[in-house]
Structure 1
Amino acid sequence: MEDHHRTPSLTVRPLEGGRGVRAAGEIGLATHTIWERALEQAVREGEAVYQLELSEVTFVDVAGTGALAAAAGRLGEGRRFVVRRPPPALCRVLETFWPGLSTIEVSMS
């Protein structure tokens, strides 16, 4: 039987061999602070291309996707996030609320 009383968790660690981070867990109300800190760090680092590896993220809520879109909006000219293997919900929410956002590239590979 599943334990529904566990606290959702999110871990964010540096990406091996590249500029960016690998996130694992859930991006929701309980983990927004961690997610927003990781995005702030990404904006500050100033890399032209910053990888967000999300293949181990099981859930992203609308606010988490909004935080990503807002951070992408602060990247500045010629910079972008490459979001790798995100949960399908993230792609749907981006396409619905932030269509054609040129600072986020989704890669399924």
Structure 2
Amino acid sequence: MSTRRRTSHGPGTPVPSLTVRPLDGCRGVRAAGEIGLATHTIWERVLEQAVREGEGVYYLELSEVTFVDVAGADALAAAAERLGDGRRFVVRRPPPALRRVLEMFWPDLPTIEVSMS
């Protein structure tokens, strides 16, 4: 799965994008870019696919993600709440703001594990 979305913005304005590709060696994806209004549909599709796949652990490598808005964090938490028993997302190297938002609003959500390594 490799997905990229661009939207129209004013002249000289960088176009937010999100690129997603499968991880090598484990179930999950590597995302690069921004998770915001312009790329929210891509992010939700990625999370919905992860929920449907039924794997025990699904990795979200976010070290190349530069921004996640609150709606993107909410979509992650909502998807994590739909995971079945014993399943979880491992969010690797998220942007610091995402880690803080998850700790602030969903501190006891056992289906999201944040890994900085």
Shorter-chain TM-score: which interval? over 0.9
| SS, match of residue 19 in structure 2 | strand
* Larger RCO (CA under 8 A, 6+ residues apart): 1
Partner of 2:93: 85
Structure 2 spans left out of the alignment, 5+ residues? 1-10
| Deviation, structure 1 residue 7 | 1.4
The AA in structure 2 aligned to 1:101 is L
Partner of 2:3: none
| Deviation, structure 1 residue 74 | 0.3
Number of equivalent positions: 107
Q: Distance in 2 between matches of 1:7 and 1:89?
A: 21
Q: Distance in 2 between matches of 1:4 and 1:10?
A: 19
Structure 1 spans left out of the alignment, 5+ residues? none
Q: Distance in 2 between matches of 1:96 and 1:4?
A: 35
CA RMSD of aligned residues (A): 1.1
* Percent identity of equivalent pairs: 83
The AA in structure 2 aligned to 1:18 is C
Partner of 2:75: 67
| Deviation, structure 1 residue 106 | 0.3
The AA in structure 1 aligned to 2:71 is A
Partner of 2:39: 31
TM-score normalised per structure 2 = 0.89
Partner of 1:41: 49
TM-score normalised per structure 1 = 0.95
* 1:17-55 deviation line (CA, Å, top 9, x unaligned): 110000000000000000000000000000000000000
